[in-house]
Structure 1
Amino acid sequence: MLRTSPLGLPRPDYMVEEMQLFEEAVDRFIDQECVDHIEHWAKAGEVPRDTWRKAGQAGLLMASAPE
């Protein structure tokens, strides 16, 4: 059985709760910190260091590294 992700994409059954929570955290971060700035960043050719710092503080960087 496939469920739907926050992006409306199919979510496979093997996706454990921890993975779902991570996906939701990424979606929230993008909505809150990125969406309003994407065009500016694209023109500037970079994402500000502070945004990367916030992503790291939210636990979104190096997600596959052990804690």
Structure 2
Amino acid sequence: MNSDFKFSEVKLRKSLLRLKVYEKIYTSHFITTTRSISHRVFQYLHGIFLERGRGNMSAYARI
């Protein structure tokens, strides 16, 4: 499998902006009435996009 994956700087910047939008959307799912673990949102999204196969939050946190 060829892993030559290239993005232009413009595409990377657009992807980062989109990721920030997703982060805002998902933040509410990481807050309960007693505490917030919203700092894990980025780990979760990172894991979803980069983890091969099925994963879970514990696996995503290791990335």
TM-score, normalising length from structure 1?
Answer: 0.35
TM-score, normalising length from structure 2?
Answer: 0.37
Higher strand share: 1
The answer to which structure, 1 or 2, has the higher relative contact order (CA under 8 A, 6+ apart) is: 2
Higher helix share: 2
